[in-house]
A and B are shown apart, each in its own frame.
Chain A
């Protein structure tokens, strides 16, 4: 009898010890990452039936279990993966934001100082020092573009590197999850008890994996996890682990993309499937911000070079020659897909000359394009909005591009007999910045800056009427007059006409004779030479236009070059260099702000989810301290029962 309840007391002591052990374990792991506090599930022993009824046989610990709510953990994981994505995005985009916003590294001040240099030539065209100032400021503008371009390139390379290392970390976590899966299967199948600490470890690995890429999990009956990415692409199934790879893109070998090892080959995962985590952040940053920033910067550099060159060509240098290019620009990048069959034609594109409508402007868009050949027709797709142009050959496409200008044209290439599925990626402005330079001839000899206009006008001194002629200008495609061969207009009052004879131009061709009805102030254009005569001429009065020989102090073209600063020279004559740059800065700023704000909101959600999870699973040391006291007292109480049983036994012995 007494033996019975000593045994009962002993079970109490044993359970109290187990409770103390669990409390010690909890206290020891108070700061362990991913640890879920544990508790002992106590249950009373099966009672013994006596005549008096069922006599209790004490207590035992049925199981040690985790305080764990998988919904709360999943909530933490799904918010964590978004936070990680946004943090990784923010870390990258804020670098662009800082560079563009910084007065020292941004384009804005360099652009202003370049045009200040142009203006100094416009004010003092004959001074070599002014011309040198213009060249130097142009050089620093080019350097500034290139420095920014280099930085974007470094970010691009950095993204490539980060993708590779992140993929390697993902593989490492997948492998560990697979291994722990195996351990858990073994541990739980043999004991039928939960392997609490292994489960915690696996949860932590999944949580770490979520920081890199968003994954979803399902639990198998044997307690192992399946881990999926994207829309169900398997990463871990039980103990089977797939390998993720970082590989060069088929379309662009410089672009590292994410793939999944299937059998012996790697299959490129569409970027839309890789979301969340720092990997998702990197990919989103690259496709949303980095590519467009590089394209936009290139668009500005290319537009500046093309429009400035066109205006410069309308001028005349100090030596009396027509202006050459001021900037040089390499051709746009075209990448042939690595899946193209051998023998596919090489495709190249060229910038179209800027259009002219009072000032020069380009139609470049800042988007990339894809050229596909389906065996019978070519399709050009603008990737930003999927606008398409189709034609049977390059010439047909170019005809369409002429009507709907995109700032570039395709160079001739022969597609007859080429396999279907041949594709090319066209990046009209992506690498324009690195291909931008000053024309080395102009750098070496600043007299080649074409500050003067190529023609000048004069009202003959012996005229008896009171009429003046404007200074004049030239339009693209003008015919330059030959030196010493002016073109003279003579006024006839009876017919009210200005008449001029046929004149041989500097290129040896003839400017046809002609006649216009005279209207004071109306622009007269002869072979691209524009001028206006104002006032009342008398019969026989003559006005001449001539080559601007020795026009060293003329700065009419420099003034027009200077005006480009404020004219709408880009995006089909809707934006100036500066407004386009401001739009870029604003876009990147907006994106950074958006990412930062969303990141703050997600962080708050994560904090809440973590708090909720910790409320269930986290260790509170005070609570454990209280538990210690409780379990100590339970131990002491059971010990007291033994003592009392002992005393009862002694009392029986004393009767003897």
Chain B
């Protein structure tokens, strides 16, 4: 083929330029460490890189979120651990205070300890997270969750309950594509919503219906020897709202050593009635028959008196916290007509044997038939209306006639309330109106409240712990994914150095060859020879 001289030059120059362009591109790839310099180099790869880059960025964001969640959870964890320790101290104090040999002064000292425990718990409850937000206030980080004004200044017995000003919100952090993890716990869950009693119901002393208390100013030798009660009449008298109405407490007042009168709290009186030592006195005033009889014996002095009013249990019966045997029965029972109403266990004496008996009473169905009572026996909660709560309580000790125990469904009681109640209990003087049995019952009751509160905290703590453990697992998953994404990106756009360097060298050799041959060819001319 014929070739023009220009063609020789053009072809040579084009060849060198092509080689140089390739060298330039290889050099660019090497210096920027990617084989996709622009999307045009590999449009599909470039789009994949963008998609994977976003997945990578999102996963790295989850890692950041995870570490943020971790630090927030560890703060909560630390505070809840301190809280558990503080509550344990309270518990130890209660157990100590239950010692029957303790004097009022000993109990006062325990009460003082409890006051400082309460302050400590309140301090924990109002902790902030270091950036000015309260840890336990739900969504309302800027709101102090628990009032803490003048704890010491007030008498704990009259301390107003410490209210929660936060909400039930849990702050969450997105720690993986599908997981929003709670990184805070609401103060209400930790401090306020612990259930009282055994978590399902509360068994407390109900009090004796007819407590007979000798006036402290009595100078005669009269003592109360026995009393009996027609429960139906008593309940009917107290429930009646049509005048004449019952007006407790009643007072048996000796006008002189031979005559007494019964006065109700409204001032109505039976008028002077002859007194016979050991004879039953029927309690009936102002046309209201209370259905009860008391027996007084001994020699009175004019002005001696006995107060008759519902009071604390008279016997030594102590009730445990009870247990639920069948939760389905329980929940069916509390969702029927008895919802929210207390059930009572009432003690009375057998009319013939005089032995202690109990019956279960509820405001709707009334009382069941009396059953013989043995100390320490399990008492099943089944009402006269046939409602079976599927639960039982155990009463130990010796109750007296008229003593009762009440079972109500659990409701929430704040840990502050429990401690405040304890302080109040410990400061109540033990005597005729407040027996050591009642103290034991009350302490046991509050102890089970505290145990519930502690188990509530422990539940929350274990959720926090589970979240922290989950974060460890998530972190490793995220790290794996990050490595995986980076590997994918590197696979798509990463440079194969061996190949690229070898390409580069080859291209260099090509260019040099093109240059040398061009010079040689361009130097050939026939004109040189003519």
Contact = CB atoms under 8 A, between A and B. Distances in A.
B177 interface: yes
A552 B138 CA distance: 9
Contact of B192 (A126, A461, A587): A461
Interface stretch (A6-14, A265-273, A615-623): A615-623
A465 interface: yes
Given A122-B174, A458-B167, A582-B50, A552 B140 contact: yes
A582 B412 CA distance: 55
Given A119-B65, A555-B172, A112 B526 contact: no
Contacts of B64: 116, 119-120, 123
Interface residues of A, number: 85
Given A565-B58, A592-B40, A622-B525, A123 B411 contact: no
Contacts of A615: 1-4, 7
B526 A622 contact: yes
Contacts of A116: 57, 61, 64
A596 B40 contact: yes
A59 to B, nearest CB: 24
Contacts of B2: 615-616, 620, 623
A390 B524 CA distance: 75
Interface string B455-474: 00000000000000000000
Given A108-B54, A458-B167, A538-B331, A618 B7 contact: yes
Given A459-B168, A493-B335, A101 B38 contact: yes
A218 interface: no
Interface string A578-605: 1101110111111011001000000000
Contacts, number: 228
A456 B39 contact: no
Interface in A381-400: none
A456 B139 contact: yes
Given A458-B167, A559-B174, A566-B177, A618 B50 contact: no
B192 to A, nearest CB: 5
B170 interface: yes
Contact of A126 (B36, B142, B335): B142
Contacts of B297: none
Interface string B499-525: 000000000000000000000000011
A552 B411 CA distance: 30
B65 A112 contact: no
B131 interface: yes
Nearest to B37: A101
B68 A458 contact: no
A555 B175 CA distance: 14
Nearest to B332: A493
Contact of A462 (B39, B65, B412): B412
A116 B54 CA distance: 11
Contacts of B169: 456, 471, 548, 551, 554
B417 to A, nearest CB: 11
Interface stretch (B41-49, B80-88, B153-161, B360-368): B41-49
B526 A456 contact: no
A586 B44 contact: yes
A611 B1 CA distance: 10
Interface in A435-467: 452, 456-459, 461-465
Contacts of A587: 43
Nearest to B56: A112
Contact of B4 (A539, A589, A620): A620
Contacts of B139: 452, 456, 548, 550-554
Given A112-B57, A456-B139, A462 B411 contact: yes
Contacts of B409: 464, 538
B39 A578 contact: no
B interface bracket (residues with beta carbon within 8 Å of A): 35 or more
B279 interface: no
A607 interface: yes
B39 A538 contact: no
A115 to B, nearest CB: 7
A261 B302 CA distance: 138
A587 B46 CA distance: 10
Contacts of A625: 525-527, 530
Nearest to B188: A461
A560 to B, nearest CB: 10
Contacts of A94: 38, 40
Contact of B335 (A494, A549, A563, A610): A494
Given A622-B526, A625-B527, A540 B167 contact: no
B168 A457 contact: yes
A101 B3 CA distance: 44
B269 interface: no
Contacts of B216: none
B315 interface: no
A398 B177 CA distance: 38
Contacts of A563: 174
Contacts of B340: 464, 540
A429 interface: no
Contacts of B303: none
Interface in B10-63: 10-11, 14, 36-44, 46-48, 50-51, 53-54, 57-58, 61
A622 B5 contact: yes
19 contacts: A97-B39, A101-B46, A112-B57, A116-B64, A471-B169, A538-B331, A538-B339, A546-B167, A551-B139, A552-B139, A552-B140, A578-B50, A585-B43, A586-B47, A589-B46, A611-B3, A615-B4, A618-B6, A619-B4
Interface of B: 1-7, 10-11, 14, 36-44, 46-48, 50-51, 53-54, 57-58, 61, 64-65, 68-69, 131-133, 137-143, 167-174, 177, 180, 184, 188, 192-193, 331, 334-335, 339-340, 409-412, 524-527, 530
Interface of A: 30-31, 37, 94, 97-98, 100-101, 108, 111-112, 115-116, 119-120, 122-124, 126-127, 452, 456-459, 461-465, 469, 471, 493-494, 536, 538-540, 546, 548-556, 559, 562-563, 565-566, 576, 578-579, 581-583, 585-590, 592-593, 596, 607, 610-611, 614-623, 625-626, 628-629
